[in-house]
Structure 1
């Protein structure tokens, strides 16, 4: 296969999935790691894809564009792990906690197996999968029903009705973007409504957002920055952004990735 043909096939695969890993492309096309990286570089130079750690995603998302869970999962992996490691320190045995949909909350779910006696409420299929794969007899997992979105969130009236009757100690909220002007946002209108229900059910709101979410804006606002009791982000967040966020959220914690 010629390089141009292979790059066209790679681009079509990214368009279908939202993102791909280098390792998957190496296996699929039977070429070297360096060859695939050169292909991705060529596509990135044409503005067709964005290179991320370990792979590439489709370039140029708009405010209503919603990448799939697989596409988001290959972005900022070290940062998400560091954020999750700090977030789990807030969780105490016997708590009821909620986790919204998102790849950072999924990273946190993997750490919750360390905490005994938890009740975990989530509208995220991947979060529930993580918890079911590492079951603890003293933990209860509540997965809302609802309509599945590209990011594997469950939304709509069924999910909202389930959450409306619940009360939790902490909500760990993953977001698509954050900005002083628009607050915490998502590209999915139905997901925004469910996230607002989760916020209403929680005594304390903890937002988990890596630095790339800064000034990324989705079509729907979930909540203003000031509604967050705590925001955990990583050291890639610029100093001016830290100042602006710190003036609005209850507390800002910055962790260093790996």
Structure 2
């Protein structure tokens, strides 16, 4: 296969799936890692895709653009790991939690595999699979039904009906964007409705979002900023954003992306006016 043909095929894969991994492309086209990286560099220089660590994704999104799960899983991996470790500290054995769809909640799921007697309600197929493959008999996982979105969320009336009958201790919510005026947003209208049902079913709302979500706005608002009991983010969030969010969310928990969370960096919004 000529380089031009291979690059055209790579671009088609990116557009269909929202992103690709270098390792997958090496296997797909039976060429070297270096060859694939040169292909991605060429496509990026032509403005056809965006290179990220370990692969490539589609270009910057609009308010209704919804990248696939594979594409999002390659972004801000260190930040998501830090956020997940910090958020895991908020989960107690024997509680019932909800986890929305998203790669950050999926990362959190791996941190919760050893929490005993945990009940997890989720509309995320990947999150449910993490717990299923763990095989713990003392953990209960409830996967809602619904229509599957590009981000592997199950949404729609079936999911919402199931969720509204539940009473949950905490919801861990992944979001597409955070904005002072628009609140926590998503690019998918149906997913927004399902997420709002999750918010209503939980006594406590914990939002998980890395620093790149700040000032990103999806078409539909899930919740206002002041509805969040806690927001767990990473230390890449600008100081001015931390100040704004610290005055609106219940607790702003900032996890250093380079290592173990330092609770001294947490902003106690209880001292600020909401």
**1:64 corresponds to:** 64
Moved over 6 A (4+): none
What corresponds to 1:140 in structure 2? Answer: 140
In the alignment, is residue 33 of structure 1 matched against residue 33 of structure 2? yes
Q: How does 1:206-221 map to 2 (within 5 A)?
A: 206-221=206-221
Are 1:48 and 2:48 matched, yes or no?
yes
Q: Which residue of 1 aligns with 2:161?
A: 161
Deviations 1:10-65 (A, max 9, x none): 11111111100011112222333233222212222222211112111111321111
SS, match of residue 116 in structure 1: coil
Structure 1 length-normalised TM? 0.96
Matches of residues 96-245 of structure 1 in structure 2 within 5 Å? Answer: 96-245=96-245
Report the 3-state secondary structure (helix = DSSP H, G, I; strand = E; otherwise coil) of the residue aligned with 1:168.
Answer: coil
State the alpha-carbon separation in 2 of the partners of residues 245 and 47 from structure 1: 34
After superposition, the C-alpha distances for 1:54-95 in whole angstroms (9 at most, x for unaligned) are 111111321111111111111111211111111111111111
Q: Which moved more, 1:32-41 or 1:157-166?
A: 32-41
Of 16-25 and 240-249, deviating more is 240-249
**Distance in 2 between residues matched to 1:119 and 1:54, nearest whole Å:** 34
Q: How far did residue 242 of structure 1 move?
A: 1.4
SS in 1 for 2:142: strand
Shift of 1:101: 0.5
Q: Which runs of 5 or more residues in structure 2 are unaligned?
A: 259-274
Distance 1:226 1:252 in 2: 11
Deviations 1:90-146 (A, max 9, x none): 111111100000011111111211110111111111111111000211111111111
Contact 1:225 1:248 survives alignment (8 Å): yes
> Retained in 2: the 8 A contact 1:113–1:135?
no
Q: Name the SS for the 2:31 alignment partner.
A: coil
- For the pair 1:81 / 2:81, whether they are aligned, the reply is yes
Cα drift, residue 2 of structure 1: 3.3
Q: Residue 90 of structure 1 aligns to a residue in which SS?
A: coil
* Residue deviations 1:207-248 (CA, integer Å, cap 9, x gap): 001111111111111011111111111121122221222121
Q: Could you tell me the TM-score, scaled by structure 2's length?
A: 0.91
